[in-house]
């Protein structure tokens, strides 16, 4: 299976390393914030992607940056073509915005948190309800796209949704403890807030956060089950 990984993490090493570790698939990695874009949807004589994953980012999806606009156009084409997509954190927000949802800035959610499933879906196969996972974001999807299914929430709001072939999760199932602690230390927040987040990085929470990693295998199962006749092939 061949996936595109769109790394929008502004040069941090964590995204590519973590996704490579967790995904049992070959990956073509595009540093989209550096202008590395795939060829246009439908370009001839190029390898086909079976699916794609969009990473987190330190930017905001509503920022007026040329690379976000260019990448959004590519994603719009991929959605129209029926390519299975998984958005994580910033990717979750970008997919929501493209599909007609609303993203706004708000309070930071930082550290290991608990998330509750709100609807049955194959993406949750083998994952307990509720589950523990790492989160780091201050932007939030505050309104779902039309016709999207709410899949998960917690006290901060929407944590996951599905729209046809698109899955999106606000949390980071790919994170390990090294990444979690590094991301906490990188935040420009009051020391007390950082310590509260660091205090969630316990062996128990790190161990509990292993279960949601099953989400990646479940997404690959979703990609594999896609009917190739249901939509045109995506060349990218």
Record the tokens describing residue 134, joined without a space.
């790492």
DSSP string, 174-234: T--HHHHHHHHHTS-S-HHHHHHHHTT--HHHHHHTTGGGHHHHHHHHHHHHS-TTSSPPP
Q: How confident is the model at residue 18 (pLDDT cuts 50, 70, 90)?
A: very high
Arithmetic mean of pLDDT, 11-27 = 89
List residues bridging with 52 in a β-sheet: 4, 85
Find the catalytic residue in 89, 92, 109, 163. Answer: 89
Catalytic residue among 140, 163, 174, 205: 174
Please say if 89 is a catalytic residue.
Answer: yes
pLDDT in tens, 171-198: 999 999 999 999 999 999 999 999 999 9
Q: What percent of the chain has pLDDT over 90?
A: 84
For domain 2-225, give its CATH number from 3.40.50.880, 3.40.50.170, 3.40.190.10, 3.40.50.720.
Answer: 3.40.50.880
Report DSSP state, residue 124. G
SS3 71: helix
Would you call 163 a catalytic residue per the annotation?
no
Spot the catalytic one: 14, 92, 137, 172.
172
The residue-averaged pLDDT of 66-95 equals 95
- Whole-structure pTM value: 0.92
| Residue 201: active-site member | no
Residue 158 pairs in a beta bridge with 153
Take residue 151 and report the two structure tokens written for it. 């899949």
Closest CA to 113 of 97, 90, 137, 96: 137
236 in Cβ contact with 46 (< 8 Å)? yes
């Amino acid at each position: 299976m061949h996936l595109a990984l769109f790394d929008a993490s502004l040069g941090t090493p964590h995204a590519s390393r973590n996704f490579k570790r967790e995904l049992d698939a070959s990956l073509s990695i595009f540093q989209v914030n550096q202008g590395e874009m795939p060829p246009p949807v439908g370009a001839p004589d190029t390898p086909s992607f079976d699916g794609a994953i969009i990473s987190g980012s330190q930017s905001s999806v509503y920022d007026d940056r040329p690379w976000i606009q260019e990448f959004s156009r590519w994603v719009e084409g991929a959605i129209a073509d029926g390519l299975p997509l998984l958005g994580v954190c910033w990717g979750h927000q970008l997919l929501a915005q493209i599909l007609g949802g609303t993203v706004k800035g708000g309070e930071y959610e930082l550290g290991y948190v608990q998330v509750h499933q709100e609807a049955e879906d194959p993406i949750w196969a083998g994952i307990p309800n509720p589950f523990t996972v790492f989160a780091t974001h201050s932007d939030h999807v505050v309104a779902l796209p039309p016709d999207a299914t709410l899949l998960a929430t917690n006290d901060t709001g929407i944590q996951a949704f599905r729209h046809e072939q698109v899955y999106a999760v606000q949390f980071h199932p790919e994170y390990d403890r090294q990444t979690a602690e590094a991301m906490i230390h990188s935040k420009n927040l009051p020391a007390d807030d950082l310590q509260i987040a660091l205090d969630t990085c316990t062996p128990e929470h790190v161990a509990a956060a292993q279960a949601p990693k099953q989400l990646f295998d479940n997404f690959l199962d979703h990609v594999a089950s896609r009917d190739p006749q249901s939509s045109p092939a995506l060349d990218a």
